[in-house]
Chain A
Amino acid sequence: MATKKNNTIKLKFDSARNLAPAPESKSAAKIDPQYDLFINGKFEKPQSKKYFATINPATEEKLSMIAEANTADVNKAVTAARTAYDKTWKKMPPAERAKYIYRIARMIQERAREFAIIETLDGGKPIRESRDFDVPTAANHFFYYAGWADKLEYAFPNRRATPLGVAGQIIPWNFPLLMAAWKIAPALACGNTVVLKPAESTSLTALKLAEIIQEADLPPGVVNIITGAGATGAAIVNHADINKIAFTGSTEVGKIIQRAIAGTNKKATLELGGKAANIIFDDAPLDQAVEGVINGIFFNQGHVCCAGSRLYVQESVFKEVVRKLKDRLETLIVGDPMDKNTDIGAINSKAQLDIINKYIKIGQQEGAEMYQSSCAIPWKGFYCRPTIFTNVAQSNRIAQEEIFGPVLAIQSFRTDDEVIEKANNTPYGLSAGVWTDKGSKIFNLTTKLRAGVIWANTFNKFDPTSPFGGYKESGYGREGGLHGLSAYINLTTL
């Protein structure tokens, strides 16, 4: 039923959250009770002899025990990667290298459902997202970069591209399999070997990927996947025989890494935090814009470095947009990530939920006005209602700092110049969004916003062919596309 109000249609969504559950089955995925380290083509017990639990954040139930790699384990992995680089991988004809990477892509596609289920169980993201986005995009990323392996001489005019050597790669918990693909695929295509560490709360799909790499018969040591927390990551960063560090994570840790490798010749790409501005002009198609804003901030529970966490709405449509947002908020289905109807799943960890709740409190203390969906949330597991703040000042912490959760800070603006200045007034520069019907205004904004990815009349789109990465404190280097190759090669004159 629809009723007219304020010239726009307000839909009644009373029944929207009462859809019958459509749970994905856990039985299509096999999770072992314990996982070891993947070094030199074999799963090996950690020399640390330690294991830690990984849980399902939606239920707080233990899923498996994961090995904790210590410095000795890291040394072993790096040695394996170095040996594989010298003896096998760099000597292999590039077209053969390509075929191995294609093979990995195909095997991910074959086991896509299993990957999606495990990704959702381990990380809390809705099965709809892991099924339709994370897993297929990861497979596509391998498929895309596989084809580059024997075409590098066309990528850099008047230069020869040579591999760097051993790449140490540290990835976050928000897109575990996809980030592994973003790191491993271009590194291998360019002829490097890899030591990769997934985040400690989401190791499972990376270890499943290790199984595939083993099945694919990739030469031992070309890809090593070792698990652990910050100390393991630090051991990788500080290892003397690593040529390249690729890190995706917080700006805080990114700065520590940049500092840690200062006295070395290690190259680095850093893909760090963000505080993206999403800008709605009064001539924008508002319903589409509202959908874009919802997707921009609530995709993956807002655990997205490029999330549109700051919304700027032109004053003349401010009230209407906020009301539409609130209406839309009410329709979002929050709950069991394994339910195919779920829009917003579980927050990845207790620690992250605490951070989000801290910022929600700070927002209220700073005087911003909070609105949360009235939905019920499960009593067990880590959940956060989708939250928007209005009456936000540019100086408020919720408008300045990355929250990494489903929390949106909304401000208004009058002129183009004003919103460009506000949008750029942040140390970050990862992404931004613009909503307007006017082409020339789009290009005015997209050229003046200081960010690496700009979405115009869309948001949170990703593709293997599309370079991704930040300006300013959002990091340096690109992942994806032709430009993503630069991260894994040296250029020499012909």
Chain B
Amino acid sequence: MAKTLVKKRLEVLKTYKIYIGGQFPRTESGRYYIATNKKGENLANVCLGSRKDFRDAAVSARNAFGGWSGRAAFNRGQILYRIAEMLEGRKAQFIDELIKQDSTKAQAENEVNLCIDRLIYYSGWCDKFQQLFSSVNPVASSHFNFSVPEPTGVVAAIAPQNDSLLGLVSVIAPIIAGGNTGIILASASKPLCAVTFAEVLNSSDLPGGVVNILTGKVAELVPFFADHMDVNATVYCETDAATQKMIKEKASLNVKRVVLYDKVKWASSSGQSPYFIMDLQEIKTTWHPIENIGGTKAGY
């Protein structure tokens, strides 16, 4: 009796929701679209995110910024490492989803492995890039003067549309390794593993709001990623010239930094480097006088 029950057991389908402030709400718009594979088979109903979703995510990202940027760099490294651990543990699920989204098994395995390794790579950078890109400046006056990188703030990023998981991870990792918080728009055609990756983030001690992941139409949402007045930088990974221009124009409203990754090959070794972290850093220079009582000769 039990055996037949199990055989006939109906599969529980997963609801793919968006990820804002450490929670998984449905889009406030109530809209959805159907993600399909190349054959046109339905994979899932996915949230068709709205402007209001973006604004909610921006509030969450801003609220999370102080805490995340204030964490010890070592702690951020530990959390990125934890994300990698969680991803390793759920590898099978991601491979399964990538295959559903038209990857071959070998491709899917390779992509997930690359993602895990990339997270480890950036985990290591969390407490090192500052040393590489800081300077003590030998000013001519009697001051101690140094420059250090600090996170730009809230970053809105449109993830690569084709490298659905690797692109997403490659964009998110340098944002958060550098202490920024972000709102990421997942690949519209391959959104499944983006939502599942949000579950990985949610179980990795990453504070809610540090990464917010939306799904939806790029054309509809891009303007908000570029013109929101409480976003400090916009990242765009596609080659569409008209969209690039529109992002740069709207970014001028509050002098956003615009970072275009239109020539990056994410699967290659050039798809990772500390320069991706530095693209979303500001340089802060601090001065303090040096007292010079007692003359300039050393006393010993």
| Interface secondary structure of A, over-half rule | mixed
Contact of A463 (CB < 8 Å), options: B145, B241, B252: B145
B residues within 8 A CB of A256?
252
Q: Are B289 and A458 in contact (CB under 8 A)?
A: yes
Q: Tell whether A463 pairs with B139 under 8 Å between CB atoms, given A262-B249, A272-B255.
A: yes
Q: Does B23 contact A (CB under 8 A)?
A: no
Interface pick from B156-164, B185-193, B279-287: B279-287
Q: Does B248 contact A (CB under 8 A)?
A: yes
Q: Mark B108-139, 1 if CB is under 8 A from A, else 0.
A: 00000000000000000000000010010111
| Interface secondary structure of B, over-half rule | mixed
B241-264 contacts to A, CB under 8 A, are: 241, 245-249, 251-255, 257
**Which of B255, B275, B286: most chain A Cβ within 10 A?**
B255
Q: Are B287 and A461 in contact (CB under 8 A)?
A: yes
Q: Are B255 and A472 in contact (CB under 8 A)?
A: yes
Q: Are A463 and B255 in contact (CB under 8 A)?
A: no
Q: Does A275 contact B (CB under 8 A)?
A: no
Q: Are B287 and A454 in contact (CB under 8 A)?
A: yes
A412-456 contacts to B, CB under 8 A, are: 427, 442, 446-447, 450-456
Q: Does B143 contact A (CB under 8 A)?
A: yes
* B270 nearest CB across to chain A (Å): 6
With both beta carbons as reference points, the residue of chain B lying nearest to A460 in the complex is identified as B287
Q: Are A455 and B287 in contact (CB under 8 A)?
A: yes
Q: Are B248 and A262 in contact (CB under 8 A)?
A: yes
A residues within 8 A CB of B251?
258
Q: Are A458 and B283 in contact (CB under 8 A)?
A: no
* B236 nearest CB across to chain A (Å): 12
Q: Are B285 and A467 in contact (CB under 8 A)?
A: yes
Q: Does B232 contact A (CB under 8 A)?
A: yes
Q: Are A452 and B255 in contact (CB under 8 A)?
A: no
**Which of A270, A427, A472: most chain B Cβ within 10 A?**
A472
Q: Does B288 contact A (CB under 8 A)?
A: yes
Q: Tell whether A451 pairs with B135 under 8 Å between CB atoms, given A473-B254, A476-B255, A476-B257.
A: no
B residues within 8 A CB of A454?
284-287
Q: Are B255 and A461 in contact (CB under 8 A)?
A: no
Q: Does B45 contact A (CB under 8 A)?
A: no
Q: Are A251 and B245 in contact (CB under 8 A)?
A: no
A residues within 8 A CB of B248?
258-259, 261-263
Q: Are A251 and B283 in contact (CB under 8 A)?
A: no
* A470 nearest CB across to chain B (Å): 8
Interface size for chain A: under 10, 10 to 19, 20 to 34, or 35 or more residues? Answer: 35 or more
**Which of B147, B245, B273, B275: most chain A Cβ within 10 A?**
B147
A residues within 8 A CB of B141?
461, 463
Q: Are B287 and A453 in contact (CB under 8 A)?
A: yes
A residues within 8 A CB of B282?
452, 471, 476
A residues within 8 A CB of B135?
467, 481-483
B residues within 8 A CB of A390?
none
With both beta carbons as reference points, the residue of chain A lying nearest to B278 in the complex is identified as A486
With both beta carbons as reference points, the residue of chain B lying nearest to A456 in the complex is identified as B288
Q: Does B140 contact A (CB under 8 A)?
A: yes
Q: Are B275 and A255 in contact (CB under 8 A)?
A: no
With both beta carbons as reference points, the residue of chain B lying nearest to A443 in the complex is identified as B286
Q: Tell whether A465 pairs with B138 under 8 Å between CB atoms, given A251-B255, A476-B255.
A: yes
A481–B141 alpha-carbon span in the complex (Å): 15
* B292 nearest CB across to chain A (Å): 13
A491–B285 alpha-carbon span in the complex (Å): 23
Q: Tell whether A463 pairs with B140 under 8 Å between CB atoms, given A263-B245, A458-B287, A472-B232.
A: yes
What 4 additional pairs, Cβ within 8 angstroms, besides A263-B241, A463-B140? A158-B273, A258-B248, A466-B137, A472-B153
Offer 18 A-B interface pairs, CB within 8 angstroms, sorted by A. A251-B255, A255-B253, A259-B252, A262-B248, A263-B241, A454-B285, A456-B287, A461-B143, A463-B141, A465-B140, A466-B147, A466-B285, A469-B283, A472-B232, A473-B254, A481-B147, A481-B285, A482-B137
Binding site for A on B (CB under 8 A): 132, 135, 137-141, 143, 145, 147, 150, 152-153, 232, 241, 245-249, 251-255, 257, 270, 273, 275, 282-289
In the A-B complex, the 8 residue pairs with the closest CB atoms: A262-B248, A258-B252, A463-B139, A263-B245, A259-B252, A465-B137, A262-B249, A456-B288
Binding site for B on A (CB under 8 A): 140, 157-159, 251, 254-256, 258-259, 261-263, 270, 272, 427, 442, 446-447, 450-458, 461, 463, 465-469, 471-476, 478, 481-483, 491, 493
